[in-house]
Amino acid sequence: MLQTFSAIVTSPPILSHPIEYLKGVGPQRADLLKKELGLFTFNDLLHHFPYRHLDRTRFHEIIDLNPSIEFAQVRGKIIGHELIGEKSSKRLVAQLKDATGIIELTWFKGLTWVQKSLYEGSTYTVFGKLGFFMGKPQMVHPEIEAAGSEATGVKAHLEPIYATTEKLKSRGLGGRQIANLTTSLYGLISEKDLPENLPEGLLKEHRLMPRFEAYRQVHFPASTEKFEAAVQRLKFEELFITQLRLAIVRQQRHSYSKGVVFEKVGDLFLEFYNKHLPFQLTGAQKRVLKEIRQDTATGHQMNRLLQGDVGSGKTIVALLAMLLAADNGFQACLMAPTEILAQQHFAAISALLQEMNIEVGLLTGSTKTAERKKLLPRLADGSVSLLVGTHALIEEVVQFKSLGLVVIDEQHRFGVAQRARLWKKAIVPPHVLVMTATPIPRTLAMTAYGDLDYSVMDELPPGRQPITTVHRFDDYRVSVLDFIRTEIERGRQAYIIFPLIEESDKVDYENLMAGYEHVKAAFPEPKYWISMLHGRQPTDQKEWNMQRFVRGEAHIMVSTTVIEVGVNVPNASVMVIENAEKFGLSQLHQLRGRVGRGAEKSYCILMTSPKLSHDARERIKTMVSTNNGFEIAEKDLELRGPGDIEGTRQSGALNLKLADLVKDKAILEKAKIAAEGIVERDPELESPEHLRLKQYLMSLKGKTLWSKIS
């Protein structure tokens, strides 16, 4: 059947065949495989790797079974079985005995059929998930086979166990049956279907197993050693190919992209730097500025990711870069993820540039029509040099005269498509500086953002005192409020944050309101003033509440996470986070970053209920033990896995099947060095040695890398 099929349809590669054409599948099971496991083609099945292997030659003795063993295989005699219970609780219970003890086996389904196949006194091999009841071992719905029958057929030494679902199991597609499908797939393919893609030199240098062999060994290993070697090979391939594609994108950008040239450091930059800069730049700030200066002078477009922990002073770097653009006759814009942040940036930049001859504009969703009408022509004729705003900046009607630099603050809030629209606002694409305070672990930066150039500001401005972080249970709230009172008496301000992750979440919203009333009762007017901020307020109300807090007229800011990013009120010294267990690590770190921005000692108090999940406890523990954003990011990656890290979810670069960015750091480093070496020596992959690599890359068409931002 299969041969005929592929012969008629000008033989598409066998691995792209739809799963229903595999022997033993058919349309109905195919539907299930698609829905339940996302297996559409032969290739998908090939990449449905077993999650473990069972050594069928080894058996547990019943006496050795203990709760630390997840799956067990035992061999023994059935010494009794009976049907017990009525109706829905009806079940078949059997006892299996080996030389050391007895295990109980239970079935709830297929009772008659199972019972018919059990013979008292016969020997069986039983495999299944181990459980304990009153200290005695038991298995529910184990796989059971009459001893001896497993010796027939050519079974691998290590039998693959595949992930499946309850639904699939009930339709006869348990782990075993999936193994049968994989086995029949292997009967159909040969080396030409999975040709080697890595250069010979690389295989030798890293002692990698050939590709076809590796796939086979991952599914049906001949030995544990072979399995390990196969996994190494496939992980290396996966990481290497990702790194290679990133290296190529980066290399092409460096050699072909056209960018506007910022030739000189001019009057605006120098005047600001010498006369108005309110402080000495840190070493890290100077270094990043130098990198930006070099990038923008080359004639190629800059695509730089600037990562700097909360409070490291990214804004001033952005401003200096923008002045550099202006000095060279170009306009620059700064995009912020929220209205509040855009307004704050605008206020800060306007204040800093107050005595200079340069026009700064603000454009957000709530900019009034009359103001827009004034602003837009001045932007189009170049009178406005610097524009600050939200995503309102990317609307079609916003036209620049000569946009030379785009700074994106807190980039993970911007979608790719949104960014792409910005570049269309100039003939030569503007330079791009993406700033983020979300520290990205190195391994992740190397993959998810590997095509960008990358700067790190790992130094805080001098004079900052480390923030003290403590964890308190809810019943401690009175003392926490007392503490806030003392800080207010010393002239400081405080934030109290409530979770409102989804604006539509009713319970969270009610909690916020109740919390606000509670705080108000504890801090009565007119002695104390409290601002409140949440996503449901109209913009002017948000703005009014924020400004009152910025000016120091409100003592406490009760807010949701709308203030998470970027907000800068250096006088605030206390950050209380309610229901801290509901927040992710990077969010907690961002929120904490709202204090400790001035010279005063600051505190972060994480309030939780006494009942915490394991992960929540780990998050809180991490927050209490470190202020270092990179350490926190590593922990976050470890707890959540890369797929969940904010902003990287859509990243195709992270679609790793086998490799794990936490555990396989060492392989990643090697793969990166190897990939960069090849691109450096042979950027077009023209040498015969790289031919198969090139062919393989071309076959991956359509899988684009989202972080390419130009």
> Is residue 315 within the footprint of ligand ADP (CB under 6 A)?
yes
Helix (H) or strand (E) holding 97: strand 91-97
d(Cα 487, Cα 468) in Å, to the nearest integer? 14
Pick 182 or 282: Cβ nearer ligand ADP: 282
Q: Helix, strand, or coil here: 400? A: coil
d(Cα 46, Cα 459) in Å, to the nearest integer? 47
**Binding segment toward ligand ADP, per CB under 6 A, in 220-228, 565-573, 630-638, 656-664:** 565-573
Residue 312 binding target from ligand ADP, Mg ion, none, CB below 5 to 8 Å by type: ligand ADP
Which residues have a Cβ under 8 Å from the Cβ of 55 and sit 6 or more positions away? 157, 158, 159
**Binding segment toward Mg ion, per CB under 5 A, in 148-156, 224-232, 562-570, 694-702:** 562-570
Pick 43 or 282: Cβ nearer ligand ADP: 282
Residue that is written with structure tokens 């904490």 in the block: 592
Pick 363 or 457: Cβ nearer ligand ADP: 457
User: Can you read off the two tokens belonging to residue 33?
Assistant: 């495989």
Residue 282 binding target from ligand ADP, Mg ion, none, CB below 5 to 8 Å by type: ligand ADP
CB of 310 to ligand ADP, least distance (A): 5
Binding positions for Mg ion, 255-314, rule CB under 5 A: none
Q: Considering only CA atoms, which of 375, 407, 168, 417 is closest in space to residue 302?
A: 407
d(Cα 15, Cα 31) in Å, to the nearest integer? 18
CB of 549 to Mg ion, least distance (A): 17
Reported in sequence order, the residue ranges of 272-336 that DSSP labels E, i.e. its strands, are: 303-308, 331-335
Pick 137 or 308: Cβ nearer ligand ADP: 308
Among 217, 232, 282, 338, binds ligand ADP (CB under 6 A): 282
Residue 672 binding target from Mg ion, ligand ADP, none, CB below 5 to 8 Å by type: none
Among 137, 199, 308, 430, binds ligand ADP (CB under 6 A): 308
Among 142, 221, 313, 430, binds ligand ADP (CB under 6 A): 313
CB of 564 to Mg ion, least distance (A): 11
CB of 266 to ligand ADP, least distance (A): 22
> Are 693 and 247 spatial neighbours (Cβ–Cβ below 8 Å)?
no
**Binding segment toward Mg ion, per CB under 5 A, in 55-63, 281-289, 294-302, 561-569:** 561-569
> Is residue 535 within the footprint of ligand ADP (CB under 6 A)?
no
**Binding segment toward ligand ADP, per CB under 6 A, in 397-405, 566-574, 669-677, 680-688:** 566-574
* Amino acid making up residue 567: V
Neighbours of 90 (CB within 10 A): 11
> Are 81 and 92 spatial neighbours (Cβ–Cβ below 8 Å)?
yes
> Is residue 566 within the footprint of Mg ion (CB under 5 A)?
yes
User: Can you read off the two tokens belonging to residue 165?
Assistant: 């679902």
Show the DSSP H helices in 406-449 as ranges.
416-423, 442-448
Q: Counting beta carbons within 10 angstroms of the beta carbon of residue 405, is it exposed (0 to 12), middle (13 to 18) or buried (19 or more)?
A: buried
Residue 602 binding target from ligand ADP, Mg ion, none, CB below 5 to 8 Å by type: none
Among 597, 635, 672, 690, binds ligand ADP (CB under 6 A): 597
Q: Helix, strand, or coil here: 355? A: coil
Sign of CA dihedral 473, 474, 476, 482: positive
If binding means CB under 6 A, how many residues of this protein chain bind ligand ADP? Answer: 19
**Binding segment toward ligand ADP, per CB under 6 A, in 135-143, 309-317, 379-387, 514-522:** 309-317
* Amino acid making up residue 10: T
If binding means CB under 5 A, how many residues of this protein chain bind Mg ion? Answer: 1
**Binding segment toward ligand ADP, per CB under 6 A, in 236-244, 311-319, 475-483, 607-615:** 311-319
Residue that is written with structure tokens 């909360």 in the block: 310
> Is residue 552 within the footprint of ligand ADP (CB under 6 A)?
no
Which residue is closest to ligand ADP by CB? 313
| Sheet with 530-533, side-by-side order of all strands | 468-473, 603-608, 572-577, 493-497, 556-559, 530-533
Q: How far is CA 12 from CA 41, 193, 344, 470, 668, in A?
A: 12, 11, 58, 62, 33
Residue 310 binding target from Mg ion, ligand ADP, none, CB below 5 to 8 Å by type: ligand ADP
Sign of CA dihedral 688, 693, 694, 698: positive
Q: Counting beta carbons within 10 angstroms of the beta carbon of residue 548, is it exposed (0 to 12), middle (13 to 18) or buried (19 or more)?
A: middle
Q: Counting beta carbons within 10 angstroms of the beta carbon of residue 230, is it exposed (0 to 12), middle (13 to 18) or buried (19 or more)?
A: buried
d(Cα 410, Cα 466) in Å, to the nearest integer? 23
Among 312, 331, 364, 648, binds ligand ADP (CB under 6 A): 312
Helix axis angle for 614-625 and 629-640, nearest 10°, is 170
Pick 125 or 469: Cβ nearer ligand ADP: 469
Binding positions for ligand ADP, 598-637, rule CB under 6 A: none
> Is residue 568 within the footprint of ligand ADP (CB under 6 A)?
yes
Q: How far is CA 565 from CA 310, 594, 646, in A?
A: 9, 8, 13
> Is residue 570 within the footprint of ligand ADP (CB under 6 A)?
yes
Which residues have a Cβ under 8 Å from the Cβ of 314 and sit 6 or more positions away? 306, 308, 409, 435, 437, 457
> Is residue 412 within the footprint of ligand ADP (CB under 6 A)?
no
CB of 341 to ligand ADP, least distance (A): 9
d(Cα 362, Cα 372) in Å, to the nearest integer? 9
**Binding segment toward ligand ADP, per CB under 6 A, in 12-20, 259-267, 281-289, 506-514:** 281-289
Neighbours of 348 (CB within 10 A): 15
> Are 263 and 328 spatial neighbours (Cβ–Cβ below 8 Å)?
yes
CB of 198 to ligand ADP, least distance (A): 41
CB of 458 to ligand ADP, least distance (A): 12
> Is residue 210 within the footprint of ligand ADP (CB under 6 A)?
no
**Binding segment toward ligand ADP, per CB under 6 A, in 313-321, 582-590, 617-625, 645-653:** 313-321
d(Cα 472, Cα 612) in Å, to the nearest integer? 12
d(Cα 388, Cα 398) in Å, to the nearest integer? 12
Among 210, 329, 461, 515, binds ligand ADP (CB under 6 A): 461
Pick 14 or 310: Cβ nearer ligand ADP: 310
> Is residue 281 within the footprint of ligand ADP (CB under 6 A)?
yes
Residue 311 binding target from ligand ADP, Mg ion, none, CB below 5 to 8 Å by type: ligand ADP
Which residue is closest to Mg ion by CB? 566
Pick 31 or 459: Cβ nearer ligand ADP: 459
> Are 93 and 81 spatial neighbours (Cβ–Cβ below 8 Å)?
yes
> Is residue 596 within the footprint of Mg ion (CB under 5 A)?
no
Residue 146 binding target from Mg ion, ligand ADP, none, CB below 5 to 8 Å by type: none
d(Cα 688, Cα 676) in Å, to the nearest integer? 18
Altogether, the residues listed in the chain come to a count of 710
CB of 351 to ligand ADP, least distance (A): 10
Pick 310 or 434: Cβ nearer ligand ADP: 310
Binding positions for ligand ADP, 144-173, rule CB under 6 A: none
Residue 313 binding target from Mg ion, ligand ADP, none, CB below 5 to 8 Å by type: ligand ADP
The site for Mg ion (CB under 5 A) is made up of 566
The site for ligand ADP (CB under 6 A) is made up of 279-282, 285, 308, 310-316, 437, 461, 566, 568, 570, 597
